[in-house]
Amino acid sequence: MASHSSFKKAAGLMLVAVLASRFLGLIREMLIARQFGQTGAVSAYTAAFNIPDLLYFFLSSGALSSAFIPEFTKRFETGKQKEAWQVFSIIGCVMGLVLTIAIIAAWIFAKPLAALLAVPGFVESDPHLVQLTVVLTRIILPCQLFFFIGGLMMATLQSRQEFRATAAGPVIYNIGIIFGALVLSRWFDIAGVAIGTLIGAFLGNVVYTFYWMKKLGFEFHPSLNIRHPGVIRVAQLALPVIFGLGLPQIDVIINKWFASYVSDQAPAALNYANRLMQVPLGIFAQAAGTAILPMLAAYAAKNAIDDMRSGIAYGVRAIMVESIPATVFMVVMADPLVRTIYMGGEFTPASVSTTVIPLIWYSVGIYAWAGQAIVARGFFALQDTITPVVIGTVSTIVFIPLNYMLMRTMGTGGIALATTIAISLHFFGLTWFLRRRLKGIEGGSILKTVARIVAAAAVMGIVCIGVRLGMAHIVNVESKMGAFMTVLVAMFFGGAIYLGLLRLLKVDELDYLWSGLRRRMFKRPA
C-alpha cells in the first residue's frame, strides 16, 4: 500500500531499534534481579520513579510531543519553518523553566511526597524503605528535565520523518542503567543503579539527540513569549493530551502505590512482571505509535480524511498481527519466561510464582495497549483532544477502585488485572468515538483480519501448551536451562505455525513486520 510507505519505513526502523532497546532492557532487569532479587530494595528503586514519572506525564515531553508534533508539522508542510522554530524555542524555554522549578521543589519535599505518592504502605511497615525511596527519588528526579529536552528535540526530528535519535535514545538509556547495575552498584549498592539511570537519560536524550539536531539544522531563539499563537495552540492541545495519553499510562504509578500495601516485595514483583510484558508491547506499540503520528498529522493538515481513515485502519490491523499472538504466548509461557529471564542469584525459585501471576494478567491486555497507541494518535493528529480526555478520565475512575477491590481478593495479580480491564475499556472507547468522528475506520476489514489472527493465535497457543507438556518429559522445566529450552522450542514451533497460518489465511498485514525488518536489517528495497 504505497500511501502508507512512510509509516512502514519509519515503523521498520523503530521496530529494530525497540528490539535492541527491549533486549537491553531485559538484560538490565536480569542483572537487577540477579544482584538484588525480589526485595524491598528493588521495591524502593521501583517506587522511586513514581514522583519523577508524575512530573513526566504532567509536565514533560510525553504529552507535549503529541500536542507539539501536529503544530510543528503543519508549519513545515505549509512553508512556515521559521515560525515552527519559534514555537519550538518558546516551548523549550517556558516548559524547561517550569520543569526545573518543579524538580527542585520535588527534591526538597521528597520525603513527604514519597510517603504520600510512592510507598504509603511502607510508612508503618518498613520505614527504612521509605528513606531509601527518598534517596533514590532525589537521584532520579533530574532525568525528567533530560527527557523533556530530548523529547522536544526528538519531536522536531519526527516531524521531518527523522527517527534515528528517537530510536537510539532508549538504547543508550538502558546501557546507562546496565552500567549502574554492573559497575556503580559495587560502591553505591542499589543507588548505583539510580546513578546509572541518570547518566543514561542524559546521554541518550540530550547528547545524542542534540548531535542529530545540529547535523540536520535547527534554529533556537530564547524567548518566553507565551502569547505566540502557535504556543497558545500547543498549550490548548497539551492539557487534554496530558490526560489523554497520561491517564492510561499512569496505571504503573497507581499499581505500585497499591502494591506497597500488599508487601515489601510486591512492588518489585509487579515491576518485573510489567517489564517483561512491556517487551512485546514496546516493540510493536511504541514503534507503530511513534511512526504513525507524523503520517496522520500530515494527512490531517491536508484534510485527507480518506487517507487518514485508511492509515488508522491499516495501523490497527498491523498492530494486532503482533499483539494478539504476543498475548497468547506470554500467557501460556509465563512460568518458563520468568524462570529464563529472572531466576538466578538473589532471585530464587520461590520468587517465580509471585511474578508469574501478575505477568499473566498484565499480558492479557497487550492487545488493548497496542491498539490504543494507534487510535489515540488519530485524535491527536485531528487536534481533537477533548474526547481522549473524557475517555481517559472514565478509565481512570474505573481503574482506581478496581485496584483496591481486586488487590484485596487477588493480591498483586488483582492489581495487574485491574490494569488490563481499564486499558481495554480505554481502547474500545477510543475506537468507538474515532469511528464516529471519521465516519468509519474500515471496521469490517479490521474485524475480518482480527478474526483470522485470533484463529491462528489460538492454534499457536495449543502448540505452545503441547511443547510445555512435551518438554516436561525431556528436561527439568523448573530449572533455568530447562525453561530456556522450553521457551525456544515453543517460539520456534509456535511462531512457525502462526506465520504459516497467517499466510494460509492471507493476512497481508504481516508485511508490516517482515518488510520493515527486512529493509532495516538486510538493506533490501521495499
Digit-coded pLDDT (tens) for 63-102 = 566 677 777 777 766 767 788 888 888 888 988 898 999 9
Proportion of the chain in helix, strand, coil states, percent, rounded to 5: 85, 0, 15
| pLDDT tens per residue, range 324-356 | 999 999 999 999 999 999 998 889 898 999 999
pLDDT score of 396 more than 70: yes
Q: What is the pTM of this model?
A: 0.81
The DSSP letter of residue 3 is G
pLDDT for 2: 42
pLDDT for 246: 54
Concatenating the DSSP letter of every residue in 303-322 gives T-HHHHHHHHHHHHHHHHHH
Domain edges within the chain: 40-250
Cell digits of residue 298: 500530515
Neighbours of 458 (CB within 10 A): 15
The DSSP letter of residue 261 is T
8 Å CB contact between 261 and 407: yes
Average pLDDT value for the chain: 84
Query: Range with the lowest mean pLDDT among 158-162, 198-202, 463-467?
Result: 158-162
Alpha helices for 382-479 (secondary structure H): 386-410, 412-437, 443-471
pLDDT score of 286 more than 80: no
Those residues whose C-beta lies under 8 Å from the C-beta of residue 320, and which sit 6 or more positions away, are 367, 370, 371, 446, 449, 450, 453, 509
Cell digits of residue 303: 484534510
pLDDT for 525: 37
Largest CA distance in the chain: 71
**Of 260, 229, 285, 286, which Cα lies nearest the Cα of 75?**
229
Q: How far apart are alpha carbons 295 and 108 in whole angstroms?
A: 42
The fraction of the chain above a pLDDT of 90, given in percent, is 45
**Of 157, 176, 194, 166, which Cα lies nearest the Cα of 42?**
194
**Of 200, 193, 106, 89, which Cα lies nearest the Cα of 149?**
89
pLDDT for 133: 96
Query: Range with the lowest mean pLDDT among 228-242, 251-265, 429-443?
Result: 228-242
Give the position of cell 533486549: 23
Cell digits of residue 87: 514555537
Which amino acid type is present at position 295?
M
Q: How far apart are alpha carbons 12 and 513 in whole angstroms?
A: 7
Backbone dihedral angles phi then psi of residue 410, each to the nearest 5 degrees: -125, 0
Q: How far apart are alpha carbons 77 and 161 in whole angstroms?
A: 12
Mean pLDDT throughout 122-132? 91
Backbone dihedral angles phi then psi of residue 223, each to the nearest 5 degrees: -165, 150
Which amino acid type is present at position 459?
V
pLDDT for 175: 94
Query: Range with the lowest mean pLDDT among 5-14, 60-69, 413-422?
Result: 5-14
Concatenating the DSSP letter of every residue in 10-33 gives HHHHHHHHHHHHHHHHHHHHHHHH
pLDDT score of 10 more than 60: no
- Confidence bin at 3 (pLDDT 50/70/90): very low
pLDDT score of 240 more than 70: no
8 Å CB contact between 354 and 412: yes
Q: How far apart are alpha carbons 17 and 287 in whole angstroms?
A: 8
pLDDT for 136: 97
8 Å CB contact between 65 and 376: no
Cell digits of residue 266: 510486591
Backbone dihedral angles phi then psi of residue 286, each to the nearest 5 degrees: -65, -45
In angstroms, the first-to-last Cα distance of the chain is 11
Q: How far apart are alpha carbons 10 and 5 in whole angstroms?
A: 9
| pLDDT tens per residue, range 14-68 | 567 667 777 888 899 999 999 999 999 999 999 999 999 888 776 654 556 667 7
Q: How far apart are alpha carbons 514 and 298 in whole angstroms?
A: 25
pLDDT for 215: 83
Cell digits of residue 233: 495552540
Backbone dihedral angles phi then psi of residue 347, each to the nearest 5 degrees: -90, 100
| pLDDT tens per residue, range 363-392 | 999 999 888 888 887 887 777 767 877 887
pLDDT for 472: 93
